[in-house]
Amino acid sequence: MTPQRQMVLDVVCEIGDHARPEQIYELVQQKSPAVHRATVYRTLKLLCELGLVTDTTTAEGHMVYEIAGKQPHHHLVCRCCGADLEFPDEDYRAFVDKLEEKSGFRIEATHITLSGLCPDCQK
Amino acid sequence: MTPQRQMVLDVVCEIGDHARPEQIYELVQQKSPAVHRATVYRTLKLLCELGLVTDTTTAEGHMVYEIAGKQPHHHLVCRCCGADLEFPDEDYRAFVDKLEEKSGFRIEATHITLSGLCPDCQK
DNA sequence: ATGGATGCAAAAGTTTTGCAAAGAA
DNA sequence: TTCTTTGCAAAACTTTTGCATCCAT
């Protein structure tokens, strides 16, 4: 675990929510401008493989990272204001379980992001 | 509705499943090599706005298009062999309805794609 | 002629890769 | 030394945009 890797991990922790690579890169830059973008990408991929962070794809197709080890949960992201509401796994899990049973597929999407409008932006 | 647009629409129909822009472009190319990639992209965007096709983002973050007007449905895509199984809306709808009620969000993801392993590839 | 559609080239955004230098084991 | 990590630059991939031309009204 090199300083660069620690820093990337810290930043992902710090952001807490869904962290996009560019956002991570910018924060890392602020702390240590020498760290290269490629290092951030390589590190994120590595941290994923190590299971320290998880990756998801948003409904808009952006890769987002998050610290692993939290309770399984998912995200509702407001496409208008960006508000990010986590929701617990139980309902999704029930849905996926039923789907696996019916289809025979083993579903690997363990962390999903749904896009929509938050209560405020619906007004 | 120009010949180019008709051709893009036809190809999306023809592919049936989730059609990726490059795949669409290639098939259009075979029929009419003069059609430019930018035209395909512009046309897909237009057809979306017209409601003739729908777009989704796969779990891998790729944009995929599909002819509109089908019954609401979703996709299970095998990350190993690419098999694409559609599943009906009902269970997803029930899940989303519950989620909307609990969260206050209006969820706009009306066409989702989950990634996993098909029965064959689990062996 | 007016306005939209197209082809083209170029840009833009994101992510990956090859390679050489630097560092640690 | 040997293996890994890093910084760098460049490529790769996907999508968008500006502009001139073309076509149909």
State the pLDDT confidence band at A36, using cuts at 50, 70 and 90: very high
Protein CA at A108 to nucleotide C1' at C22, angstroms = 39
What is each CA distance from B92 to A3, B95, B98, in whole angstroms? 43, 5, 10
DSSP B72-112: SEEEEEETTT--EEEEEHHHHHHHHHHHHHHH--EE---S-
Nearest Cβ partner of A105 from B95, B106, B116? B116
Protein CA at B76 to nucleotide C1' at D18, angstroms = 40
Nearest Cβ partner of B109 from A62, A78, A114? A114
Instruction: Check residue A17 and give its pLDDT.
Output: 84
d(C-alpha A43, C-alpha A19), whole Å: 14
Instruction: Check residue B86 and give its pLDDT.
Output: 93
Instruction: Check residue A118 and give its pLDDT.
Output: 93
d(C-alpha B41, C-alpha A104), whole Å: 35
State the pLDDT confidence band at A95, using cuts at 50, 70 and 90: very high
Which residues in B lie closer than 8 A to residue A112 (C-beta atoms)? 112, 114
Candidates A95, A98, A110, partner chain B, best to mutate (most B CBs within 10 A):
A95
pTM of the model: 0.90
**List of E strands, B18-93:** 53-57, 63-67, 73-78, 84-88
Distance from CA of A93 to the nearest CA of B (A): 10
**Burial class of residue A30, CB neighbours in 10 A (0-12, 13-18, 19+):** exposed
Instruction: Check residue A59 and give its pLDDT.
Output: 86
What is each CA distance from B100 to A87, B42, B61, B77, B110, in whole angstroms? 11, 33, 24, 26, 13
